[in-house]
Amino acid sequence: MSRDPFQSIILDAEHALRAVVGIRPELAPFVTLARPWLDDAARSALEDLWAFARRDAAAMGDPDYVLATYRCFRAVLGYRVSNLIHRRALSFPAGDAVRFYLVCLARGLSELMKVETGVEIHPAASIGARFVIDHGLGTVIGEQVRLGTDCYLLQDVVLGGAAIADSSLRPLGSRRHPDIGDRVEMGAGVRVLGPITVGDDCWLGPGVTVTNTLPAHTRVKLVNTTQMIRGDGGPTIQGAVMFRDTVLIVGVRLGNLVPTMLDATLEPIHQLKVVSSGDSYICCHAPERQATGSGSVTIGLLVGGRISSWLLLASSAVGLGESADLAGVGSPGGRNVSLVVPRSELI
């Protein structure tokens, strides 16, 4: 390296703390108090810096480049400083003014890093050595998260609680955030939620949501998404597909429904001929292209002459002779709620 990375990290940390004081001038004396602690934070951040340079291919193995340009490394550096200040604050008695202002300083730095980098890491989170956040934007790490050594996260990862809950409803001291082992890798958009454990050497693919404990060496990937419709006890559509001249609709309590072609205002045009049906499915002829005038079609499911539910089948092809996907679903009364539920599998 062309310059001393340790001193560069110290200077960056001091600059960030001065920025916090610019917003909260009353914290200036506590920045002075925290200054001797920065060496410890910088030593941890230096390990992170080398991990960034080594593990991120775009860094080209150059710590200088990471230090000069990587906002995601700055987020990790900010965490190392805020975490150290937070831990030192807890050594003061509860109710002590010094403790209060040091905690405020730590949180103020965390909030500043969130604005500057798009990464939010709570100062109280526990993160092991050689931590890398690649890209980072949108990543959130909660207060009670414990993350092991040599972990690698991409952007938009959330390590947090499984529910939005009033803290007064939880037992005092109860955990709400996950415990992550060593050498865990998480792809973009991963969510690990709740007081669960993810063992060492796990690999979580992009878009995966984990709410149950995973043993060490587990690999999880997202294999597809399933659109599910949750109703109020009436007919429920779980999926639909249109292929060539046939539409297949699957769900629950569909036996008495009459499939009907609808116009753009959801007014019935004509009934569709049913090939076969049961409580869990309806197979009917697809509307002719001339009746739709587009690559999508709206089908209503009628009971007693009233539209119970409707679905929009959209085709990427121009003609309806090609396959199509369920693009939307609903009901005139708004009873059905469309949910996109990811389905993951262990590999």
Q: Which of 117, 152, 184 is the last residue of a domain?
A: 117
- Number of other residues whose CB lies within 10 A of the CB of residue 246: 12
Are 180 and 285 within one domain?
no
Strands in 246-252's sheet, in edge-to-edge order, are: 268-271, 258-262, 296-303, 306-314, 324-330, 236-243, 246-252, 281-285, 274-278
Residues 85 and 136 in one domain: no
221 vs 130: which has the higher pLDDT? 130
Asked if residue 195 belongs to a domain, the reply is yes
Residue 295 near residue 317 (C-beta atoms within 8 A): yes
The last residue of a domain, from among 196, 217, 238:
217
Q: Give a yes or no: residue 347 inside a domain.
A: no
As to burial, measured by CB atoms within 10 angstroms (0-12 exposed, 13-18 middle, 19+ buried), residue 182 is middle
Residues 11 and 92 in one domain: yes
CATH label of the domain that carries residue 213: 2.160.10.10
Alpha-carbon gap, residue 312 to 24, rounded angstroms:
54
Q: Are residues 166 and 136 in the same domain?
A: yes
pLDDT band at 338 (very low <50, low <70, confident <90, very high): very low
At 231 the pLDDT is 46
Is 98 inside any structural domain?
yes
- Tell me how crowded residue 178 is: count the other CB atoms within 10 A of its CB: 27
Tens digit of pLDDT for each residue in 229-281? 444 556 777 778 777 778 888 888 888 899 988 887 788 888 999 999 998 89
- 134 and 156 assigned to the same domain: yes
Which among 188, 175, 190, 165 is positioned nearest to 126, based on CA atoms? 175
Residue 251 sits in the same domain as residue 278: yes
Single residue among 191, 217, 243 that ends a domain in this structure: 217
- In this structure, the answer to whether residues 131 and 91 fall within a common structural domain is no
Residue 223 lies in a domain: no
Which residue's entry shows tokens 């506590």? Answer: 30
DSSP code string of 95-112: T-HHHHHHHHHHHHHHHH
| Residue 65 token pair | 């480049």
Q: What is the pTM of this model?
A: 0.67
Residues spanned by the domain of 48: 1-117
Residue 315 domain-assigned (yes or no): yes
CA separation for the pair 198, 46 (Å, rounded): 26
- pLDDT of 3 reads 67
Number of domains in the chain: 3
Same domain flag for 289 and 310: yes
Report residue 113 as tokens.
Answer: 């890093």
**pLDDT tens string 57-102:** 999 999 999 999 999 999 999 999 999 999 999 999 999 999 999 9
Cβ–Cβ < 8 Å for 338, 229: yes
102 and 43 within one domain: yes
Q: Are residues 240 and 318 in the same domain?
A: yes
Given a contact cutoff of 8 angstroms between Cβ atoms, the answer to whether 216 and 228 are in contact is no
Residue 136: φ, ψ to 5° = 90, -30
Residues 193, 263 share a domain: no
CATH number (domain holding residue 77): 1.10.3130
Percent pLDDT > 90 in the chain is 59
Q: Do 5 and 48 share a structural domain? A: yes
Q: Which two tokens stand for residue 116?
A: 């500057």
